[in-house]
Chain A
Amino acid sequence: MPHLNDFRNPDVASHLLARIGELAREPLRVMEICGGHTHAIFRFGLQQVLPPQIEWLHGPGCPVCVTPVVKFDKAIALAHRPNTIVAAYGDLLRVPGRESTLLRERAEGGDVRVVYSSMDAVSIALQNPHKNVVFFAVGFETTAPANAFSILAAKERHLENFTMLANHVLVPPVIRALLEDSRLKIDAFLGPGHVSAVVGSQEYEFIAREYGRPVVVSGFELNDILQSILMILTQRDEGRCDVEVEYARAVRDAGNAKAKAVIADVFERQDQEWRGLGIIADSGLRIKHELSEYDAEIRFADFLRDISPPPPPKGCICAAILKGQKRPFDCPSFASSCTPERPLGACMVSSEGACAAYYSYRQQPLIQGGTYDE
């Protein structure tokens, strides 16, 4: 396996850029689906060095961002329920619900624990047999297998105090929904690396076959992304539309069979609400009926009954941004009434969201055209 540094080698990068320059004769609108890619594009400054014909559209690539606010309100409510511990991955803690965040609940005495793996949540339940442990589990296909596994582990250990507040969303259905919207002009997709490692690249075949758009599943290093762009351009140049894998060191055509089996053991598909996008058919996972004792929304249904979804925020254009129709800079609230500290909409809530990425790198225009006094 090549060394990680090879994927950052600047000589390889300039070679790839030169070939991209030769092939990028027509405009090309590429949507990246994964928030990790959005971040990498900014971190490496790709927009500064790629030919202007290549335009990035930032898709709904952050599972935290597309989780409905009402889920956070439920987690926050559970955090101040007596004898209850809420366990969650770190980036969920500062996402605001209607009035508070899990971080604030923790400061006010709520028992909120940061976990790094789903099994940490199971361990907390084992160590605290007299408390209810609610694992707030959010994610794409990437985290769904490990989260599913925590339920199987809890079942095996006969843990009655472990439940999951779940919000799992699926990538292929949301891409289909975007492609069905004829107003969206997307020429090609940069396929998500981590998700594809689980589901396999064949799940994207419909994009090439039914909708005639090239897909290249990409890694996250500089030269991964450049190589993927070159592969997309080569497909166009040769008049092809295929699903190709640049990220071959992690992704197989068929995906990871074990991971898919665990998902199928625990979850079943459902119509799913995406924050900013609305309900998309068959695009989410819910805990299967026979495992409903592990579903926090069923176990604590009485406690959570009065928590209803808030109205959509005014002055927020996240829906259009998530579809690649608008850019963060087009939004009147961007960096004024909507900041990472006080986000209004989906794209600002997690560092992987498109607006948060633009916010982090918002001084970029400052240096373009700036001089470099050596």
Chain B
Amino acid sequence: MQKLLDGLPKIIESAHGTGGRWTHELIESVFLPYFRSQPLQSLADQAVVPESGTGRMAISTDSFVVTPYRFPGGNIGDLAVNGTVNDLLMGGATPAYLTVAFVLMEGLRVDHLVEIVQSIANAAAASAVSIIAGDTKVVCGKAEDGLFITTTGVGFLPGGVNWGPEFIQPGDKIILSGTVADHGASVLTKRYNLAFDTVIRSDTASLLPAVMAVRDLCGIRCMRDPTRGGLATTLAELSQTSGLTLEAKELCIPIRDDVRGLCEVLGLDPLYVANEGKLIAVVAPDVASTVLSRLQATEVARDAAIIGTVTKSAPGYALLETAIGAKRVLELLSMEQLPRIC
């Protein structure tokens, strides 16, 4: 790492955002060594990409702000790539291109920036997307916020892939690709400097292997990645849009013991805590076991489980069956969950 930093400034200053010599030096010394696509290396005002053939195009854009911007299991750079890539994947698209725009806070440590740029490059490579355009600005903000990143992704949809909540039917099975709340719990332990016996790592990951393992199957109705607002909010949204009832069983939802413990301590409901590398698939009952076993064969979805069924029992609402067989409505998250006092 030290060698990579030789000759680089220690911190970001306002001059790095002026568009002049400092900006060029920053781009050439920090970004271009890692972002090697041909359109980007040419430093033109636009990226020109080859014609793609006939497929439909999917586009997604997202801005990433997180405090702290580095946490166990990843950093804001991983989130910025995986978040947008996963949004493309949830529609069934194969991600192809990504643009990345940075807003850097004055005072950001350059070694942190290099680490984040490396993470972006690695995450993009893992999902086989090319970073084809970028931008950098510097603002006077709170140094602890570090940087904000906006990514826009472009992907292509193969024929025959048509997923969406409007295709959900009663009797469909709900599959979750792994444990809930890992990302939110990881960020909180770092944000509040909580000491635990084990390190809780963010689950930030590309869902590419999971989606590619099952995309050819008929009977996939809809996929979603339960990020902000957690699993409960996603189930509530899908129920609302489909007009049906997504019913999950609490005992079937995988959750790590340390994550559950942290949520207990902070008074947070893990079903409302963010995930960054999980998906929910609603699938026809006859393909459920095939989808499940194919997901479990991938590393990113090895803990996949069938967590519930679609019914018509409370149209427009998601339900959770608790451990003792009681049922409660899962509402949309109305406000940010804040740690409690006692």
State in angstroms the CA–CA spacing of A366 and B309 once bound together. Answer: 18
State in angstroms the CA–CA spacing of A90 and B335 once bound together. Answer: 12
Name the interface residues of A338-374: CB closer than 8 Å to any CB of B.
Answer: 340-341, 350-352, 360-361, 363-364, 366-367, 370-374
Name the interface residues of B255-284: CB closer than 8 Å to any CB of A.
Answer: 257, 260-261, 264, 267, 269
Among residues of A, the one whose C-beta sits closest to the C-beta of B191 is A116
Q: Which residue of the partner chain, among B313, B324, B334, contacts A13 with CB atoms under 8 Å? A: B324
B324 touches A222 (CB 8 A): yes
Name the interface residues of A1-55: CB closer than 8 Å to any CB of B.
Answer: 3-5, 8-10, 13-14, 17, 35-36, 39, 42-49
Stretch at the interface among B24-32, B125-133, B156-164, B314-322: B314-322
A90 touches B329 (CB 8 A): no
A367 touches B313 (CB 8 A): yes
B324 touches A372 (CB 8 A): no
A367 touches B338 (CB 8 A): no
State in angstroms the CA–CA spacing of A155 and B257 once bound together. Answer: 39
B340 touches A5 (CB 8 A): no
State in angstroms the CA–CA spacing of A363 and B328 once bound together. Answer: 8
B341 touches A367 (CB 8 A): no
B303 at the interface (CB under 8 A from A): no
B342 touches A42 (CB 8 A): no
A363 touches B326 (CB 8 A): no
Among residues of B, the one whose C-beta sits closest to the C-beta of A361 is B328
Taking A43-B322, A45-B328 as contacts, is the C-beta distance between A94 and B341 under 8 angstroms?
no
Among residues of B, the one whose C-beta sits closest to the C-beta of A339 is B334
State in angstroms the CA–CA spacing of A174 and B257 once bound together. Answer: 36
A360 touches B193 (CB 8 A): no
Q: Which residue of the partner chain, among A17, A89, A350, contacts B324 with CB atoms under 8 Å? A: A17
* B251 proximity list for chain A (CB < 8 A): 10
A64 at the interface (CB under 8 A from B): yes
Among residues of A, the one whose C-beta sits closest to the C-beta of B251 is A10
B314 touches A44 (CB 8 A): no
Q: Which residue of the partner chain, among A10, A120, A361, A364, contacts B323 with CB atoms under 8 Å? A: A10
A367 touches B329 (CB 8 A): yes
B312 smallest CB distance to A (angstroms) = 6
A138 touches B341 (CB 8 A): yes
Taking A373-B170, A373-B313 as contacts, is the C-beta distance between A46 and B326 under 8 angstroms?
yes
* B334 proximity list for chain A (CB < 8 A): 340-341
A139 smallest CB distance to B (angstroms) = 5
A274 at the interface (CB under 8 A from B): no
B317 touches A363 (CB 8 A): yes
A114 at the interface (CB under 8 A from B): yes
B192 at the interface (CB under 8 A from A): yes
Name the interface residues of A101-142: CB closer than 8 Å to any CB of B.
Answer: 114, 116-117, 120, 138-140, 142
Q: Which residue of the partner chain, among B323, B329, B341, contacts A8 with CB atoms under 8 Å? A: B323
B335 touches A91 (CB 8 A): no
State in angstroms the CA–CA spacing of A372 and B323 once bound together. Answer: 16
Q: Which residue of the partner chain, among B317, B319, B341, contacts A91 with CB atoms under 8 Å? A: B341
B184 smallest CB distance to A (angstroms) = 14
Q: Which residue of the partner chain, among A43, A117, A139, A220, contacts B328 with CB atoms under 8 Å? A: A43
Taking A42-B328, A45-B327 as contacts, is the C-beta distance between A350 and B342 under 8 angstroms?
no
A143 at the interface (CB under 8 A from B): yes
A43 touches B317 (CB 8 A): no
A90 touches B338 (CB 8 A): yes
Taking A49-B326, A116-B194, A373-B170 as contacts, is the C-beta distance between A340 and B339 under 8 angstroms?
no
State in angstroms the CA–CA spacing of A351 and B342 once bound together. Answer: 12
State in angstroms the CA–CA spacing of A353 and B342 once bound together. Answer: 12
Name the interface residues of B227-277: CB closer than 8 Å to any CB of A.
Answer: 247, 251, 257, 260-261, 264, 267, 269
A71 smallest CB distance to B (angstroms) = 14
B322 touches A44 (CB 8 A): yes
State in angstroms the CA–CA spacing of A42 and B327 once bound together. Answer: 10
A370 touches B257 (CB 8 A): no
Name the interface residues of A182-203: CB closer than 8 Å to any CB of B.
Answer: 194-195
* B298 proximity list for chain A (CB < 8 A): none
Among residues of A, the one whose C-beta sits closest to the C-beta of B338 is A90
B331 touches A350 (CB 8 A): no
Q: Which residue of the partner chain, among A35, A90, A372, contacts B339 with CB atoms under 8 Å? A: A90
B110 smallest CB distance to A (angstroms) = 23
A91 touches B339 (CB 8 A): yes
A243 at the interface (CB under 8 A from B): no
Residue picked from B257, B319, B339, B342, most chain A C-beta under 10 Å: B342
A372 touches B322 (CB 8 A): no
A341 smallest CB distance to B (angstroms) = 7
State in angstroms the CA–CA spacing of A92 and B339 once bound together. Answer: 10
Taking A42-B328, A351-B267, A373-B170 as contacts, is the C-beta distance between A91 and B338 under 8 angstroms?
yes
A45 touches B326 (CB 8 A): yes
B322 touches A360 (CB 8 A): no
State in angstroms the CA–CA spacing of A116 and B268 once bound together. Answer: 14
Among residues of B, the one whose C-beta sits closest to the C-beta of A366 is B314
State in angstroms the CA–CA spacing of A195 and B340 once bound together. Answer: 15
- With A4-B261, A117-B192, A352-B340 known, 16 other A-B pairs at CB within 8 A are A4-B257, A9-B323, A10-B325, A43-B322, A44-B322, A48-B327, A89-B340, A90-B338, A91-B339, A116-B339, A120-B193, A142-B341, A341-B334, A367-B327, A367-B328, A373-B313
24 residue pairs of the A-B complex, CB under 8 angstroms, read A17-B324, A36-B342, A44-B324, A44-B326, A45-B327, A45-B328, A48-B326, A49-B325, A49-B326, A90-B339, A116-B191, A116-B194, A120-B193, A143-B341, A222-B324, A340-B335, A352-B267, A363-B314, A363-B331, A367-B319, A367-B328, A370-B313, A370-B327, A373-B311
By a beta-carbon cutoff of 8 Å, the part of chain A in contact with chain B is 3-5, 8-10, 13-14, 17, 35-36, 39, 42-49, 63-64, 89-94, 114, 116-117, 120, 138-140, 142-143, 194-195, 220, 222, 340-341, 350-352, 360-361, 363-364, 366-367, 370-374
Q: What 10 A-B pairs come out closest when comparing CB atoms? A: A45-B326, A90-B338, A116-B192, A363-B329, A48-B326, A142-B342, A90-B339, A370-B313, A373-B311, A45-B322
By a beta-carbon cutoff of 8 Å, the part of chain B in contact with chain A is 170-171, 191-194, 247, 251, 257, 260-261, 264, 267, 269, 309, 311-314, 317, 319, 322-329, 331, 334-335, 338-342
